[in-house]
Structure 1
Amino acid sequence: MTTAVNIQTTPTEDQASSEPAQQTTFDVLEIQDLLPHRYPFALVDRIVDYVPAKKAVGLKNVTINEPFFPGHIPKRPIMPGVLIVESMAQVGGVVLTLLPGMKGKFFAFAGIDGVRFRRPVVPGDQLIMTVELISLKMNRIAKMRGKTMVDNQLVCEGEMLFSLID
């Protein structure tokens, strides 16, 4: 049994007055304000940690009601690997659209490198996706590294390329 411990710190008076609080979590409605994806292709339920211009950690609760399970694979439902990668890409999209001057802009998925799948994802799993910004060139081309875990086991990892669409 794991016990969660919440440690809260109080900012100093100087910090409270000089630095606005930065939002670090986003619910599904806030994610919809940032990304254009909708059912059945909205694949991030929550952002549980966000570090501006650096990384985000998102989660996806996988249920038997997912629209892809009846055909992939009957009697042995497995989440398609491309949708695991797309889930990571959507977490990356949150990082990119929160960069200064990028709200309302759309970064398209432009490529993947070194993606590996380590274990299947089945109904009842919760994907924990960590996506880090590696580079951003000319505010148009972004490279990101993603990793997806289920129950502290590596499911998928790889690098993704994004391109700003005007």
Structure 2
Amino acid sequence: MTTAQLLIDELRSRNQTVAFCESLTAGLAAATLADVPGASDVLVGGLVTYSPELKTSLADVPAALIEREGVVSAAVAREMARGARRVCGTDWAVALTGVAGPDAQDGVPAGTVWIGLAGPKWTASSQAAELLDPECGQYALMAGAPEPVRVLSGARNEVRRLAVEAALIGALSGIREQS
């Protein structure tokens, strides 16, 4: 059974809904869930916020936060999820922000992806590479970081695919932990 099917089944069993706020994946996470029959029972919709301006105007991410932390950060992922949950009126929202590559962006290496999850009781964020098996990642040097950071490995579309899988795994885990 796929992670998308497991997530749908878990949400359905709780009579809960989900929305997405996507940057680097540009709707791929919502589309992956929608590929599963029965997704309409739980999937409300989502926001594609590829630009910082849309993160602010659609998902209510404070511009000052983006300026201070950068768009590829734990804090922005959390705020994207909070904003999508509020705007879409769902029980849960999942956010993805990162650098698919092939090049670094603003000093952030390709493969750096943050997943945000907002639910009824809490909001959290995780690095996508930490949610997947070790062979899906690699270490990269980030400007100003005291040590290498774990990032997703692969070409642009592989990073996007792995980011979606990490987001679905993170969402499933977080929803199950809430019980």
TM normalised by structure 2 equals 0.31
Which has more strand, going by share of residues? 1
Which has more helix, going by share of residues? 2
TM normalised by structure 1 equals 0.33
The structure having more radius of gyration, on CA atoms, is 1
